[in-house]
Structures are given as structure tokens and as C-alpha cells.
Structure 1
Amino acid sequence: MERCCDVIGGGAAAGHPVVDWQGTHAALVRYLLARRVTKDLAEDIAQETIARLVVISRSQAIASVFALAFRIANNLLVDQARLHSRSTAGLDEDMVCDAPSLDRVLDSQKAFEVFQRCLNRMPPLRREVLVRRRLQHQSCRSIGEELSLSDKAVEKHISRALDDLRRGMTRAGLDPAGWNQQWY
């Protein structure tokens, strides 16, 4: 097996001991994984650590490759944690706004306008039945009694009114699926 140090240059011929870089890399990955670092991050930190060790080993003798490797890996891990905390430090849970986004407000206004136009275009009896059932929460029976309609006729008016609303929303480019919970 060819040693990384022999490929890069140096090695025993240059007066430096031959280092098992692959074994060091594997030990670093195991160490980082034991510290609950993701596999990808462990690989990245181990690779960066080996690169730094190779640069250092070219200019000076390393007394303990593993000790220096683990120290460098720890420092890189701390740097990574600092970088992560800086990127999330600006997000304060107390500063979350409960108000709807501007897009949501504009979509709601458009939906309301479409809804109002659809209601205005409906025959008066159909509109009356829908408003009583969906807005005033009256039962089909009470609506039928007050308007002299059968329960079946009331249900038919509601069904047709909802179809009218659904078609109007679709024509306006609004997704009627999002309105199912409130109106259908």
C-alpha cells in the first residue's frame, strides 16, 4: 500500500517518519462521529485536518500525529460550531411575527373579492340559503322551514352555490382546495 506522505513527498528518505495518513483519517472520522457530528461534516473536517497535517509535516517534525490531528479536528469543530451559531444568532424566537405575510393578505383580499362577486351573481334564493347555512350556521331543516323548502332543496341550493364558488375561484386562479375547510 502506497503511503500518502510518499506520494506527496518527504517520507523516510527525507528524514521524516512515514505517516499512515489513511489510518489517521479513519481515526479522525471515528472520533468525530463519536462526538455526534454528521458523516459528511466528519469527512470534511478529517480531510481538512489531514491537509493541515501534511503542510505542517513538510516543514517540521510532528512528535505525535494523532495528538495534533485530534487538536486540529477539535479546533475545526469549534470553528464550525461558531460559524453555525453566527448564522442562526440573528433568528430570535421572540421576534417571530404572528401577522400573515403580505402575500397571504393580498391572496385573501383577492379571494374575498372573487367570493363577493360570485355571491352577487347567484340567484337570490341560492345566495340566501348559502349565507344562512355557512355564515349563520343554521340547520338545513330550519332554513327549509323558514323559506318553505324541503331539506333536499336546501342541500341542492348549497351544493350549487358551492360549485359556483369553486368555479369562480378556479377562474380567478385561486386554489379552491385551500378553501375546502371553511366553505365546503
Structure 2
Amino acid sequence: MLLTRRASPSGQDHDWTAVRSALVRYIRGRTGRLDLAEDVAQETLARLIALQEQDTVGSLFALGFRIADNLVIDIHRREARASGEVDERFECTAPSLDRVVDSRHAVAILSRTLQRMPPLRREVILRRRLRRQSCAVIAEELELTPKAVEKHITRGLVDLKTAFDKAGLAPESLGE
């Protein structure tokens, strides 16, 4: 676009080339991108000319910088939305509501299933899975054979899997 001095309806003479080059420098300094600076400066000039033709503008540079700032912010928002990146200021580390509900449901199933197990099986499962005791230690402390401990663990895990399957929950989908 060829820009020259042009008089406004109020009779003021404006140097649009100087305004454009100031805008390009300003936007490039803010964004570090010449391609974006050129596009935003062009759009800013179009808006400035339209505003200047409607009314007297006190400072084309001040208004131009304000318009350019707003355009850069709009472009940044549009690009962030299109890229799917999440602005870290708005990122939430809390689990989703669905995840919380599923986890609570899973805990209820786990608790109910453990209560229904024979006491010895429940004790073996809790020692192995929660306390991380070895089969040998469990066998020694409960006066069982290691093979009996393994059978209790196997049967207990089958009971838990059956309960989760009936509820339509997969334990692996609940996270670690």
C-alpha cells in the first residue's frame, strides 16, 4: 500500500508512512515477528484511517499503538486456541470431576469386596498390596506356607477383578 501525506477532513496533514514504520518497529519489538508486525501494522492503519475520517484523532501514534496492542493480543489468543496449548496460568492440576467420581466408586467397590472376603484372605491381600510385604514374610507371620499365601493373593485378586468387572470399571483406568 502506497502511503503519503494526506489531509484529514479537519484539514490536518498526516504522514502515514511515518505512522506505519513506527507501528512496524513497535509491533516487531513486542512480538519478534516481522510477518506479524507487517500484518498488524496494515490492519492498524486501516482502522486509524477510518477513525480519523470520522472524527479528529488527538495522537495517531498513541491510538495506533493501542490498536496494535489489542490486535496482537487477539492474534495471540487465536493462535493459542488453534494450537491447543493451555495457558499455564489457567492450567488446573486437580483431577477432573469424572475422575474423582470414578475413583470414589472404585474405592467403594474395593472396600465392599474386601469386607466380603474371608478374614485370612483379606489380611493376606492387605499385607501384600498395601504394606508391600513379601510372600515369605506374610507366610511366616501368619503361620502359612508360601504356596497358601500365593493362593490367597490369587483368589483375592480374582474377587477384586470380578467386582470391578461387574461395576463396569477397569482398575487400570483409575490411575496409579
TM-score, normalised to structure 2's length?
0.52
* Closer/same/farther in 2, CA of residues 110 and 27 from structure 1, 3 Å limit: same
1:97-124 alpha-carbon deviations (Å, 9 max, x no partner): x998876654443222211232244455
Please say which of residues 137-146 and 165-174 is displaced more in the overlay: 165-174
Which of 144, 159, 176 is the equivalent residue of 1:148?
144
Given that residues 121 and 153 in structure 2 are in contact (C-alpha distance below 8 angstroms), is that contact kept between their aligned partners in structure 1?
yes
What are the ranges of 5 or more consecutive residues in structure 2 without an aligned counterpart? 7-12, 75-88
1:55 maps to what in 2? 50
Q: By how many angstroms is 1:42 displaced?
A: 5.4
- Could you tell me how far apart the structure 1 residues matched to 2:70 and 2:164 are? 52
SS at match of 2:65: helix
Number of residue pairs the alignment of both structures matches: 149
Q: Does 1:131 align with 2:122?
A: no
- Could you tell me how far apart the structure 2 residues matched to 1:100 and 1:19 are? 53
Q: By how many angstroms is 1:172 displaced?
A: 1.9
Given that residues 41 and 68 in structure 2 are in contact (C-alpha distance below 8 angstroms), is that contact kept between their aligned partners in structure 1?
no
Given that residues 129 and 154 in structure 1 are in contact (C-alpha distance below 8 angstroms), is that contact kept between their aligned partners in structure 2?
yes
Q: Where do residues 1-184 of structure 1 align in structure 2 (5 Å cutoff)?
A: 3=1, 24=20, 28-29=23-24, 31-36=26-31, 45-56=40-51, 58=53, 68=60, 70-76=61-67, 106-145=101-140, 146-150=142-146, 152-179=147-174, 181=176
What are the ranges of 5 or more consecutive residues in structure 1 without an aligned counterpart? 6-10, 84-92
Given that residues 135 and 150 in structure 2 are in contact (C-alpha distance below 8 angstroms), is that contact kept between their aligned partners in structure 1?
yes
TM-score, normalised to structure 1's length?
0.51
SS at match of 1:129: helix
- The percent of aligned pairs where both chains have the same amino acid is 44
- Could you tell me how far apart the structure 2 residues matched to 1:167 and 1:39 are? 62
1:88 maps to what in 2? none
* Closer/same/farther in 2, CA of residues 171 and 34 from structure 1, 3 Å limit: farther
- Could you tell me how far apart the structure 2 residues matched to 1:80 and 1:18 are? 22
1:48-97 alpha-carbon deviations (Å, 9 max, x no partner): 412223315646999xxxx93x53342135557999xxxxxxxxx9xxxx
